[in-house]
Amino acid sequence: MENGFYLLNVSISGIKSIKKEVRLDFYKKTVNKNFNPEKYRVKAIYGENGSGKSALITAVKIFRDLIYNENYLNESKTQEFLDEIINKETNVFRFQLEFLVNLDELKLIYQYTLRIKKGKSGLYEIQYEGLKLKSGSYANNNYKTIFEGQNGELIYVKSTEREQERIRHDTLNLLSTHSFIYLYLKNVDQNILIKGENADKELFISIFACLTLNALSRVYLAEEDQHELYFLRKRFKESNLDQKTMMEGLFGQESNFNAALGVNEKYVDKENFEEYKKRVERLTQFIKIFKPDLVSIDIDAKEDGGRFVCDLNLNYGDYAINKEFESTGIKKLIRLFDCLSFANTGGIVFVDEMDANLNDVYLCKLIEYFMYYGKGQLCFTTHNIGPMSVLKENKNAIDFLSSDNHLVPWAARGNATPENCYRNGMIEDLPFNVEASDFVGIFGE
334, 353: one domain = no
Whole-number percent of the chain with pLDDT over 90: 48
322, 379: one domain = no
pLDDT score recorded for residue 196: 64
Q: Would you say residue 246 lies in a domain?
A: no
168, 316: one domain = no
pLDDT score recorded for residue 227: 43
**Strands, E assignment, 34-150:** 42-47, 92-103, 106-118, 124-135, 144-150
28, 122: one domain = yes
Whole-number percent of the chain with pLDDT over 70: 85
338, 197: one domain = no
Q: Would you say residue 205 lies in a domain?
A: yes
Q: Would you say residue 440 lies in a domain?
A: no
> Which residue stretches of 216-357 are H helix?
228-238, 243-250, 254-258, 273-290, 328-344
With cut-offs at 50, 70 and 90, classify the pLDDT of residue 145.
very high
Higher pLDDT: 284 or 141? It is 284
Cα-Cα end-to-end distance for the chain: 60
Q: Which amino acid is at 230?
A: Y
Q: Would you say residue 411 lies in a domain?
A: no
Q: What is the mean pLDDT of residues 142-150?
A: 93
With cut-offs at 50, 70 and 90, classify the pLDDT of residue 38.
confident
322, 368: one domain = no
282, 205: one domain = no
State pLDDT tens for residues 42-90. 999 998 888 889 999 999 999 999 998 889 999 999 999 999 999 999 9
- pTM value surpassing 0.85: yes
Q: Would you say residue 355 lies in a domain?
A: yes
What range does the domain containing 159 cover? 4-226+347-403
* Among the ranges given (37-51, 165-179, 317-331), the one the predictor scored with the smallest mean pLDDT: 37-51
* Domain boundary pick from 344, 360, 376: 344
Give me the torsion for CA of 356, 360, 363, 367, rounded to 10°: 130
* Domain boundary pick from 328, 344, 360: 344
* Domain boundary pick from 326, 344, 362: 344
* Among the ranges given (47-51, 70-74, 253-257, 352-356), the one the predictor scored with the smallest mean pLDDT: 253-257
Mean confidence (pLDDT) of the chain = 85
* Among the ranges given (194-208, 230-244, 285-299, 322-336), the one the predictor scored with the smallest mean pLDDT: 230-244
Higher pLDDT: 37 or 123? It is 123
State pLDDT tens for residues 290-316. 999 999 999 999 999 989 999 999 999
300, 323: one domain = yes
213, 80: one domain = yes
**CATH code at position 392:** 3.40.50
CA distance 400 to 428: 9
Q: Would you say residue 443 lies in a domain?
A: no
> Residue 440: CB partners within 8 Å, gap ≥ 6?
none
58, 39: one domain = yes
State pLDDT tens for residues 388-441. 988 988 888 999 988 788 888 887 777 788 888 887 777 776 656 677 888 888
Q: Would you say residue 152 lies in a domain?
A: yes
209, 135: one domain = yes
State pLDDT tens for residues 184-233. 988 876 566 556 677 788 898 899 899 889 988 989 886 544 444 444 45
56, 82: one domain = yes
Q: How many domains does the chain have?
A: 2
